[in-house]
Amino acid sequence: MSILVVGSVALDTVETPFGSCSEELGGSASYFSIAAQHFDKVNMVAVVGTDFPKEHVRFFEGRGVNLEGLQVEEGDTFRWRGEYGFELGEAKTLSTCVNVFEHFHPVIPENFKNSDYVFLANIDPGLQYEVLEQVGSPKFVACDTMNFWISGKKDQLLRTIEKVDAFILNDSEVRQLTGEPNLLKAARNILTMGPRIVVIKKGEHGALLITRDFTFAAPAYPVELLYDPTGAGDSFAGGFVGFMARCDDLSEDSLRLAVMYGTVMASFAVERFGVQRLAEIDTFIILDRLKELKKLSEFQLQLP
């Protein structure tokens, strides 16, 4: 199988109570790609400026990420600067320099158009829809979003998610989109909007997967060395979609396991700044953590 991701590539400057980084490789497409490439081939469509470091290009290529769709435009690369408090739940944005990303319109290379699995990362829902108009008939399309698009471009977002299979968003975004405080009711509301799968990321409280037929809850992996939560959600999506592409099976069992893989990849992402930790791990390390995560909720039930 093959995976197409369309999103942002950025240079992030982040400060947390446990350290800081400057001009670190970031962006939704970056985190997703480095997580997903552990499972299958990844084709990236994004934009960077002429200042984008060549070592980052070599890094992607060294991980097997196909950069044929990476546009290089005259100007500076998208930059984000933020900080986290001790709770690490939500970043405080200190500055955002959109730069060349401001005029980005995704152009899908011809040999990417037949990608079997597509992930529409967190970008303008109008751009996400442009992607859907260019691809063929993928087996599975997943979509992410954020509160900014929900409040500012809700109509375009609804038009986009009507055409996707899975909608991945966090608990506050679910409530904002639907106006429903109960997550299960909110998710079932979203299921009437088009997607047949809703995945709710709840950070340190795990993740929920809801369909019309079943609900699955996965615990979060308890991370002791948590440095930077930036990109955890995109890494979750990389594990989730990456596993779905590798097994090429949309059954209930596969969806449940995909959520577990997503949780595992997110847990690795937060252990370093940027995508460093995601690049260090291998299949055996991923499987070991998956087994540990499974043990967290196992128990022997003896009926009276």
DSSP per-residue codes, 252-270: HHHHHHHHHHHHHHHHHHT
Cα 215 → chain centroid: 21
Q: Is the Cα torsion angle 10, 13, 15, 18 positive or negative in sign?
A: positive
How many Cβ atoms from other residues are within 10 Å of residue 145's Cβ? 26
Q: Is the Cα torsion angle 146, 150, 154, 159 positive or negative in sign?
A: positive
The whole-number pLDDT of residue 91 equals 81
The whole-number pLDDT of residue 204 equals 85
The whole-number pLDDT of residue 55 equals 97
Q: Rounded to whole angstroms, how far apart are CA atoms 18 and 175?
A: 31
β-bridge mates for residue 15, sequence order: 20, 83
The whole-number pLDDT of residue 303 equals 65
**Which domains are present in the chain?**
2-296 (3.40.1190.20)
The whole-number pLDDT of residue 252 equals 96
**Stated pTM of the model:** 0.95
Regions of the chain where pLDDT drops below 70: 303-304
Q: In what order do the strands lie in the sheet with 166-170?
A: 65-73, 41-49, 2-6, 117-120, 140-144, 166-170, 197-201, 207-210, 215-218
How many CA within 13 A on the CB side of residue 7? 30
The whole-number pLDDT of residue 231 equals 94
The residues, any chain, with a CB within 8 Å of residue 231's CB and separated by 6 or more, are 26, 28, 30, 31, 269, 274, 275
The residues, any chain, with a CB within 8 Å of residue 253's CB and separated by 6 or more, are none
